[in-house]
Amino acid sequence: MTMKTAKHERFYQKEDTQTLRFFKSPKVLYFSALYRNLSIPAKVLYGILLDRLALSLKNSWLDDQGRVFVIFRGKPAQNDSRKFDDKPAEDLSLTELLNVDHRSLKKYKDELINNHLLVESRPGQGKSNRLYLLKPVVDLRDTYKKETPEHMLYSEDQENFSMHEIHELLLKEYGSAALEKAFTLTAGIKLPVKGYFVYMKRILEGFKLEATDGSQQFLGKQKIPFVEGTFI
């Protein structure tokens, strides 16, 4: 298919990204060296199970320690003769969603288990297996070192990080002396929460530039980019 043969209505428009529903997969599974060996189907499987947590919470599927688990049929029931298109989403099995056989599904589940992202519990005969999805190990640098400043400025992920986490990241990258200097420079200035990380990073990168070329002009003296939202 080319630009000429593709129908206009098939292209994404601005409003389409707000109405489509997605399976979400954590960026760290793609950026971190810890999960470099995970296959794409295993990462997709993680996203499907992550999406299923909403149904688990709705049904109060928690164990006696408050841990949320997922119940998800691996393959269609033997007595289920319905076709894929005739089933509601909650009745689809994992093999149907991934369009793979049961052997391949087991391989992808084993990948998640071996990478400490999934635990499968067998409660007993006649009871469905419980799938416990585990949180990935996240280092802030796993995401930020792969993204451009423009992406970081409007990153939804960054807004979920606390100021302490952002300061820890900046401390590791630039050191305590530079960070204290940045705090002194911005004292009394109202900084936007959204875009705070990028603004501080510009200042700290400016200190590095000042140290290497002797320039007395540094990025920290740029105007704060206008961003709507809460200020600190």
Q: What share of the chain is helix, strand, coil (3-state, %, to 5)?
A: 50, 5, 45
pLDDT tens for residues 3-31? Answer: 778 887 777 776 665 666 788 888 889 88
pTM of the predicted protein model = 0.59
- How far apart CA 105 and CA 205 sit, in angstroms, is 46
- How far apart CA 196 and CA 204 sit, in angstroms, is 12
pLDDT band at 208 (very low <50, low <70, confident <90, very high): low
pLDDT at 222 (0 to 100): 40
Q: Which residue type sits at 90?
A: E
What kind of architecture, by CATH, is found in domain 21-133? Orthogonal Bundle (1.10)
| Cβ atoms < 10 Å from Cβ of 195 | 22
pLDDT at 139 (0 to 100): 63
- For residues 175 and 20, the model is more confident at 175
Does an H or E element contain 45, and which?
Answer: helix 40-58
Q: Where in the chain is the domain with CATH 1.10.10?
A: 21-133
Helices and strands of the chain, counted as H and E runs? 11, 2
pLDDT tens for residues 46-97? Answer: 999 998 888 888 888 888 898 999 988 888 878 888 888 888 878 788 988 8
